[in-house]
Amino acid sequence: MTVKELENKAKEIRRGILTMIYESEAGHIGGALSCCDILTALFYQIMNTDPGKPKDPDRDRFVLSKGHCVEGYYNILADKGYIRKEELKTFSQFQTRLIGHPNREIPGVEMNTGALGHGLSSACGMAKAGKMQKKDYRVYCLMGDGEQAEGSIWEAAMFASNYRLDNLYAILDRNTLQISGPTEQVMKLEPLKDKWQAFGFEVEQVDGNDMDKVLKAFDRLQKVNGKPKLILADTVKGKGISFMENNVKWHHGTLNQAEYEQALRELGKPDKGGEA
């Protein structure tokens, strides 16, 4: 897919996120919107996966460590054919599979996530297993910045560096806001790039809402051998919606009809010339 096609796909997924949260009256909308470009780049361009063979032993693995921002993930799985699109309407409803965090009942989901700080450790285990089995698959783990305060993140980082897991790609959705406020007020994290480099990671810091830059960052990291990698993605919480952007209120929130209609207007439809 071209960069324009990927940008249009991300716009389509964002519209799906809005509709899912509006109709279900539940969801973590701000973080789902901030990481949408990264998820789109991964699932439509970078990762080696096949919806027809979700358990292929040679598939790339993806772990959504920030499991509360699952709405974009579900929309992508439906768009790619892992689940039926009609099932998206059951999100957060009684007896649904599509609960507010990923779970392994759903094809394409590698592990249950939601307890923050656990995803990277599991991704390290998958990457280490791949090395032991002499497999070529890669493991991608998307983290939130709020969970960087968890000690388990840094234990996993030491493990990854110690075992030279160059098949591990961590991505940090750095939107600077968590449920209780700005990360630098809740628990100071900076200098994050220096910290991850000190833990032995090759780090690329990039605008995480710029599709072209995200793709180029992954391309550069794929050329690095002998050490784990991290994309430090500077993003905007609530990206694409004026009244949500950089507003901690929209970490978790639902839309009324007027807000929903305004958000759809602001987001717009994919450009016809590059629609995927």
pLDDT at 271: 60
Give the separation between CA 72 and CA 17, rounded to whole angstroms.
6
Q: What does the CA dihedral 77, 267, 247, 184 come to, rounded to 10 degrees?
A: 60
Asked if residue 112 lies in contact with residue 102, where contact means CB atoms within 8 angstroms, the answer is yes
**Each residue's pLDDT tens digit, 95-144:** 999 999 999 999 999 999 988 999 999 999 999 999 999 999 999 999 99
Q: What is the CATH number of the domain that holds 141?
A: 3.40.50.970
For residue 229, pLDDT beyond 60: yes
**Each residue's pLDDT tens digit, 178-199:** 988 999 999 999 999 999 999 9
For 265, phi then psi, to 5°, come to -65, -45
Please measure the distance between the N-terminal and C-terminal CA atoms of the chain and give it in whole angstroms.
8
User: What's the number of domains the chain is made of?
Assistant: 1
Asked if residue 41 lies in contact with residue 211, where contact means CB atoms within 8 angstroms, the answer is yes
Give the separation between CA 13 and CA 124, rounded to whole angstroms.
28
Give the separation between CA 147 and CA 34, rounded to whole angstroms.
15
Q: What residue type is assigned to position 127 of the chain? A: A
Provide the domain limits for residue 122.
3-274
Q: What residue type is assigned to position 251 of the chain? A: H
